[in-house]
């Protein structure tokens, strides 16, 4: 159980740092929030928010994500 909590914490912090670098707020998606909100969202709803972030991140890196 502790290992799972550590994984959630570390991955949520990474999402915050990475979303700041990617400037996630510039893109159209259901999760276009700032880094602090993304960390909180991942901490509370990790099972949904983390995979969703990875999908959006993949689209941004592939160049297929729409800007706002």
The whole domain housing 42 covers 2-62
Is 13 part of a structural domain of the chain? Answer: yes
Count up the domains in the chain and report the number: 1
Percent of the chain at pLDDT above 90?
100
Per the domain annotation, does 8 fall within a domain? Answer: yes
Asked, for residue 14, whether it belongs to a domain, the answer is yes
Q: Which residues of 2-17 are buried (b: 16+ CB within 10 A; e: fewer)?
A: eeeeeebeebbeebbe
Average pLDDT value for the chain: 97
The pTM (predicted TM-score) of the whole model is 0.93
> Does 42 map to a domain?
yes
Each residue of 32-56: pLDDT tens digit? 999 999 999 999 999 999 999 999 9
Per-residue CA distances from 9 to 40, 46, 58 (Å): 10, 9, 21
Q: Which residues does residue 67 pair with via DSSP β-bridges, in sequence order?
A: 27
Number of other CB atoms surrounding residue 49 within 10 Å: 20
Question: Does some domain include residue 67?
Answer: no
């Amino acid at each position: 159980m502790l290992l799972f909590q550590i994984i959630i914490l570390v991955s949520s912090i990474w999402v915050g740092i990475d979303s700041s670098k990617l400037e996630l707020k510039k893109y159209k998606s259901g999760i276009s929030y700032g880094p602090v909100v993304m960390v909180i969202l991942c901490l509370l709803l990790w099972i949904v928010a983390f995979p969703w972030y990875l999908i959006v991140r993949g689209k941004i890196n592939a160049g297929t994500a729409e800007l706002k």
